[in-house]
Chain A
């Protein structure tokens, strides 16, 4: 990696961005309001994105991907979130927390079975770690995998799992306490969705992200073979934390995209809305807001691309990903709020994307580590705490 550059995308990254932008504007934008209102998971559109190549952007070509790198992956997720955060999280989570751990920790057989079809867009995957009783405190997990007749038998429940119950969902990576490894340490197992005892519950009624699939999962004597273990037995916490780092770049990219979309909506309205004889954009109270947002979004985008570029270069990303996600998600919430404020009463009516963006923004400061957890992660990276 070069040490400094113009911080511009390459021709190839721009071409990928333009294609996703054209797709999102033509195939997603006209339907986003309806999917949101009816809480519909857009199976066909997700399938089309898979055919386009959007699920395998950063994965190597030998595993069905494009080999375009982590920055291109972030750009694709950003462009989707500019139009529809639900679609963006479906694609982002699929790549970063379902596909990526298999690429990094999977056996060749696991990669062929789960990663290749995922990268080609033929199926999607999920990662289930958070439990009703705890999220980032992964070591408090109570889901258990018991050794029995050469198999693992899973029992427990997982909360807030993305992509676990759709028609395209093929597998879920599950963190569980493996009793047979001597210490009851955490391990990760790949569970095919059709396995008896794999029981996705009804989708949650969420504040936002209505068109994404989020559920509680129950495992009731769910039996998987020995080769379902992903990565070394007892080292599940490492798989989890690595997946989270990548996932945070994904959420940062979603945040940048949502904020950009909100800014564009606000700018269009401010130029068109006349008050006291002139467009409200001419009022300092309004154009200062827009200038502030522009500045913050540019900064969030650079932090996000930098974290992705470090990942692409094989550098440690824990701190960079946490910094990018913390900053970008807070910018997204601010952008969504200012967009609504600038729209005034019209912003409060569900007839434009403005309220949807407002509802979709808040989860960005929560998913893949709350802002508070991220500050803790960053402080640890700064050697301020043990």
Chain B
């Protein structure tokens, strides 16, 4: 079964280069912008599904002009086309607003996607809300924390992480899947892929500006005070760990 797969990606600062100024609490981002890591796993999964079953992978990214680099990276990995939704600063808009912009574009896609893939959460603000909100706005089911996807007979078998183990779900398209570490190891784009990416179409869309009341204001960030060092009890049998913990609590006169 050939699949039309849409992938929602976000461009974020490379977390490896982020530094916090301890005096002002302000982060400096080092300039390097990358595809958010769970989103890259989503792109990889979409490409693998296409390679196995045929179809098309469309990448959607809402952001400023540099967001095009994130789309290009996905195209270099093997996605077929991109849609760049001009949104000056996605972090300044409420997550539901961003989800609304993405959902409207997904409704407009032709052919309509069978599967929408996105990362579980973004590397920068990590709210984990947008994917679920998109599903809700589209009226589609969604599965979060996805660690395996198999397609057979027009149905998807999806494995997901839960707090106490794994859950396997059968679901019929259309569906929104949120990718988690363990789903795959994203490929490095080949040099050929990079050269091919510039010939792949990227549609530029300017969505209506989000209403002012939907803007999110962020308080000045600060570096939390370092608290007293904790006590870690590990690598001992549970019974002994419990004894040590109780002894410590008594010592501190906490019990």
Contact = CB atoms under 8 A, between A and B. Distances in A.
A201 interface: no
A16 B195 CA distance: 9
A68 B195 contact: yes
Interface SS of chain B: helix
Interface string A1-22: 0000000000110011001101
Contacts of B198: 12
A51 B191 CA distance: 9
A16 B191 contact: yes
Interface in B4-19: none
A57 B191 CA distance: 8
Interface in B61-78: 69, 72-73, 76
A52 B190 contact: yes
B194 interface: yes
A20 B188 CA distance: 9
Interface residues of B, number: 13
Contacts of A57: 191
Interface in A8-47: 11-12, 15-16, 19-20, 22-23, 26
B250 interface: no
Given A11-B69, A11-B72, A19 B194 contact: yes
B195 A19 contact: no
A20 B190 CA distance: 9
B189 interface: yes
Given A11-B69, A11-B72, A15-B76, A66 B191 contact: yes
Contacts of A200: none
A19 B190 CA distance: 7
A19 B192 contact: no
Contact of A67 (B72, B195, B197): B195
B243 to A, nearest CB: 41
Nearest to B197: A15
Interface in B179-233: 188-192, 194-195, 197-198
B188 A15 contact: no
Contacts of B190: 19, 51-53
A243 interface: no
The size bracket of the interface on A is: 10 to 19
A323 interface: no
Contacts of B76: 15, 19
B191 A68 contact: yes
A54 interface: yes
A53 B188 CA distance: 12
Contacts of A15: 72-73, 76, 189, 194, 197
A15 B190 CA distance: 10
B139 to A, nearest CB: 38
A16 B188 contact: no
B74 to A, nearest CB: 12
Given A11-B72, A15-B73, A15-B76, A52 B191 contact: yes
B195 A66 contact: yes
A22 B195 CA distance: 17
A15 B33 CA distance: 12
A152 B192 CA distance: 38
Interface in B117-163: none
Interface string B97-129: 000000000000000000000000000000000
A75 B76 CA distance: 18
A23 B73 contact: no
Nearest to A23: B188
Nearest to A64: B192
B79 to A, nearest CB: 15
Contacts of A22: 188
Nearest to A51: B190
A19 B191 contact: yes
A49 to B, nearest CB: 9
A148 B76 CA distance: 52
Contact of A12 (B73, B188, B192, B195): B195
A91 to B, nearest CB: 12
Could you say which of B69, B190, B191, B192 has the most chain A C-beta atoms within 10 Å of its C-beta? Answer: B191
Contacts of B189: 15, 19
A26 B194 CA distance: 19
Nearest to B198: A12
Contacts of B197: 15
Given A12-B195, A12-B198, A66-B195, A19 B188 contact: yes
B112 to A, nearest CB: 31
A354 B194 CA distance: 33
B192 A53 contact: yes
A12 B196 CA distance: 11
Nearest to A68: B195
Contacts of B191: 16, 19-20, 52-54, 57, 66, 68, 76
A68 B194 CA distance: 10
A53 B73 CA distance: 16
A51 B193 CA distance: 11
Contacts of A52: 188, 190-192
B12 to A, nearest CB: 16
A52 B194 CA distance: 10
17 contacts: A11-B72, A12-B195, A15-B72, A15-B197, A19-B194, A20-B191, A22-B188, A23-B188, A51-B190, A52-B188, A52-B192, A53-B195, A54-B191, A57-B191, A67-B195, A68-B191, A68-B195
Given A12-B195, A19-B190, A68-B195, 5 more contacts: A15-B194, A15-B197, A19-B194, A51-B190, A52-B188
Closest 5 CB pairs of A and B: A53-B191, A53-B192, A15-B194, A66-B195, A52-B190
